[in-house]
Amino acid sequence: MRVISEGNKFLNDFFNFRFQVNRNTGEIDTVPLEYLNCPCALRHSCYDFMPIGRLNQVEHIYEVNFTTENFFTGCSPFEALIQSTLGCFYNQTCLNEIKIHLTSTFLSASNGTSAELVAMNQTYRWSNETTETIESIVNRLMVNEWS
């Protein structure tokens, strides 16, 4: 899976920079994104907790309402995803926070109804699924060798 992800790196790199206007010269510079002081220009494996919030249209800043539990964002969406866990899906408080954000963001564009988000039942989970990375779960599902 990493090989495919690396093949798509060219497209991912486009999103790992932001444009910034130099106030002195008026020139537009590209600035690499960073996650936990790890610059995307140097490493594709940088990641940080995924913030949930909204863009303040007046001040043009992203206002974070809360940070998800062990769900990451980063330079490479694939790398961030496989480092994430399913913990939030077993935590009703985490799901409620996501629902609040999604409802306030998308409800006006929908028909006025919102889906019910219910935490997954802990009884039916595999061993340590709430703390195990998605990468290790996927690795268990994949065939290592064909005979």
C-alpha distance from residue 125 to each of 121, 122, 129 (Å): 7, 5, 6
Which pLDDT does position 65 carry in this prediction?
81
Identify the band that residue 111 occupies on the pLDDT scale cut at 50, 70 and 90. Answer: low
Identify the band that residue 142 occupies on the pLDDT scale cut at 50, 70 and 90. Answer: confident
Examine residue 27 and state whether it is found in any structural domain, yes or no: yes
Examine residue 139 and state whether it is found in any structural domain, yes or no: no
Examine residue 144 and state whether it is found in any structural domain, yes or no: no
Number of domains, the chain: 1
Rounded to an integer, the average pLDDT of 50-58 is: 80
Enclosing domain of residue 30: 2-134
